[in-house]
Amino acid sequence: MNVGELKKIEVVDIPVPQGTNIIIGHTHFIKSVEDIYEALITSSTVIKFGIAFNEASGERLVRSDGNDEELIKLAEDAALKIGAGHTFVIYLRNAWPINVLNSLKNVQEVCRIYTATANPVQVLVAETNQGKGVIGVVDGF
């Protein structure tokens, strides 16, 4: 590892409001939002969710979708705070991560799940000359 290029490591607090769960992961393609949406919506008839995904190149947009405006906004805000390319954030209501994790892991674009929890979350973000990347999470107290 060339530590000379490491600019900083930041601790990013991510809110997890009462009654919600959060899933944070890494994916590799802009089509991820659509495929994650399908995995979630087919998991339950009562699930509410918001998804946001940070692009890693070009304009580096935050793409989002879901079926609950409040949860979509929470996911967008969290993704922007994290700021690392190819990171996705999902907020859930009326479902638990255990109800959707296997479906998410089977989405072809999903590379890894960092956390799935209702606990307070801090995301550890490293910044180099190239950009930002998630190096870990603190899940709980």
Residue 129 lies in a domain: no
The residue to which tokens 């190239």 are assigned: 130
Q: What digits encode the pLDDT tens for the residues 84-101?
A: 999 999 999 999 999 999
Residue 98 lies in a domain: yes
Phi–psi pair at 108, nearest 5 degrees = -55, -30
Q: Is residue 6 part of a domain?
A: no
Closest CA to 106 of 55, 22, 21, 39: 39
Number of domains in the chain: 1
| Residue 71 domain flag | yes
Identify the domain containing residue 70 by its residue range.
18-119
Residue 134 maps to a domain: no
Residues 6+ apart with CB under 8 A from 106: 39
- Lowest-confidence pick of 26-30, 81-85, 112-116, 120-124: 26-30
Residue 68 within a domain:
yes
Does 87 map to a domain? yes
| Tens digit of each residue's pLDDT (9 = 90 or more) over 14-67 | 999 999 999 999 999 888 999 999 999 999 999 999 999 999 988 889 999 999
CATH number, residue 39: 3.40.1520.10
Residue 1 has pLDDT above 70, yes or no: no
* In-domain check, residue 132: no
